[in-house]
Amino acid sequence: MREVIIAANWKMHTTPPDAADLATVIADRTNVVGVERVICPPFVCLAAVRDALRATPAGTGVGVGAQNVHHELSGAYTGEIAASMLVGLASWVIVGHSERRRDFGESDELIGQKLGRTIEAGLRPILCVGEQLVEREAGRAELVVAGQLRGSLAGFGDDPAALERAGLVVAYEPVWAIGTGRTARGADAATMAAAIRESISLLGHGFAGLAAGLPVLYGGSVTASSAGEFLAEPAIDGALVGGASLKVDEMAGIVARAGLTAAGRQSATEVAR
Determine contact, residues 77/70, Cβ cutoff 8 Å. yes
Beta bridge partners of 8: 39, 241
Q: Is 71 one of the annotated active-site residues of the chain?
A: no
The total of other beta-carbon atoms located within 10 Å of residue 28's CB is 14
Beta bridge partners of 171: 128, 217
Question: For residues 223 and 73, what is the distance between their CA atoms, to the nearest angstrom?
Answer: 36
Q: Is 97 one of the annotated active-site residues of the chain?
A: yes
Of 36, 135, 142, 173, the active-site residue reads 173
Question: For residues 269 and 241, what is the distance between their CA atoms, to the nearest angstrom?
Answer: 27
Question: For residues 272 and 210, what is the distance between their CA atoms, to the nearest angstrom?
Answer: 22
In 71-107, where does DSSP find H-type helix? 83-86, 98-104
CA triplet 90, 96, 101: central angle to 5 degrees?
Answer: 135
**Residue 75 DSSP SS3:** coil
> For residue 155, what are the contacts with CB-CB under 8 A and spacing of at least 6?
112, 113, 115, 116
Question: For residues 249 and 246, what is the distance between their CA atoms, to the nearest angstrom?
Answer: 9
Helix (H) or strand (E) segment spanning residue 117: helix 108-120
Pick from 149, 148, 127: nearest CA to 7: 127
Determine contact, residues 19/51, Cβ cutoff 8 Å. no
Of 97, 99, 142, 164, the active-site residue reads 97
Catalytic residues: 97, 173
